[in-house]
Amino acid sequence: MRHLLSIDDLDREGIERVLDRAASFAEVAGREIKKVPALRGRTVVNLFYEASTRTSSSFELAAKRLSADLVSIRAATSAVAKGESLKDTIATLTAYDPAAIVIRSPHAGAAKLVAGWSDAAVVNAGDGKHEHPTQALLDVFTLRQRLGSLDGVKIWIVGDVLHSRVARSDILAFTRMGANVTLSGPPTLIPRGIEALGCDVEPTLERLPEADVVYVLRMQHERMSEAYVPSLREYAMRYQIGLDRLRPEQLLMHPGPVNRGVELSGDAIDSPQALIGQQVEAGVVVRMAVLYELLAGAGAARVLPTRMEVAA
């Protein structure tokens, strides 16, 4: 794997390899000293053109725990705010000879463009409504830890699928790992023809009790240019997931940030069946595994010098 732009860059075996590596990093995360020297002397650039708490902080921690040198750029405080184009920004950053560039952008396809402009391994940390592959990998990791395997597991993804890059990457990853995926939400928020990705669509929550896992999406107001639902109150009445709609055995997931009281009720967020905290925790070790796989794994573009070469 040269870049991670989409879940399509990984077959089932590739996903399993990254997740097994993440599990070995989870063991390191349990130690008092959480750092390994794997990427010593390599430079990782984080370039975030959109708001982020979880994804940016976990990529930063992941690079640091692998001993890489890290440059973190936020569009609001960089020359991007002065009008520099993405291409010129990448040309500037190339002067530092980064081994990896992690990019989040409001534009679908931005990560792919960067991969064409730079020699660095590129990780898509979310490109518009398109994909968010590391979120899907950490979601699979969290479920694998809990259930052992996703084969035959029934996963319902509920809410604003239309604007969700998480949904697109999750559908690809969950089905590749053997799960059955059903989408549910207001018809205006379910893209037409999405069944082609290998999932089912249910316009109501009537059959929600059949799910093993309920994965709830945020209402993504920042991507809505028109009214997709009559009102948030109406949406909440029909689709909000609360403990009243869940069986105690069903697992509950959400990528964060949560709009408390809109797509999820407070009691559900704070219940023991919610895996939201475990998903955040998985973010660091899964992103360590992705950076490791790209920069030091078997298929890495530039192989690390051996100990002897360094000494010579």
Binding site for ligand NCD (CB under 6 A): 54-55, 126, 132, 135, 165-166, 218, 220, 255-256
In the bound state with ligand NCD, the residue whose beta carbon lies nearer, of 257 and 299, is 257
Q: Are 97 and 43 contacting, i.e. CB atoms less than 8 angstroms apart?
A: yes
In the bound state with ligand NCD, the residue whose beta carbon lies nearer, of 38 and 157, is 157
Residue sitting closest to ligand NCD (CB):
218
By C-alpha distance, which of 51, 18, 43 is closest to 102?
A: 43
Q: How far is the CB of 135 from ligand NCD (least distance, A)?
A: 5
Q: How far is the CB of 127 from ligand NCD (least distance, A)?
A: 10
**What distance in Å separates the CA atoms of residue 19 and residue 36, rounded to the nearest whole number?**
18
Q: Please give the C-alpha separations between residue 119 and each of 41, 64, 200, in angstroms, as whole numbers.
A: 17, 21, 39
Place of tokens 């569009």: 75
| Other beta carbons less than 10 A from residue 74's beta carbon | 17
Q: How far is the CB of 259 from ligand NCD (least distance, A)?
A: 9
251-253 sheet: strands from edge to edge: 200-202, 180-184, 154-158, 213-216, 251-253
Q: Are 254 and 268 contacting, i.e. CB atoms less than 8 angstroms apart?
A: no
What residues form DSSP beta bridges with 155?
181, 213
Q: How far is the CB of 113 from ligand NCD (least distance, A)?
A: 19
Q: How far is the CB of 186 from ligand NCD (least distance, A)?
A: 17
In the bound state with ligand NCD, the residue whose beta carbon lies nearer, of 15 and 276, is 276
In the bound state with ligand NCD, the residue whose beta carbon lies nearer, of 38 and 264, is 264
In the bound state with ligand NCD, the residue whose beta carbon lies nearer, of 98 and 255, is 255
Q: How far is the CB of 202 from ligand NCD (least distance, A)?
A: 21
**What distance in Å separates the CA atoms of residue 103 and residue 124, rounded to the nearest whole number?**
6
By C-alpha distance, which of 262, 308, 253 is closest to 283?
A: 253
In the bound state with ligand NCD, the residue whose beta carbon lies nearer, of 178 and 257, is 257
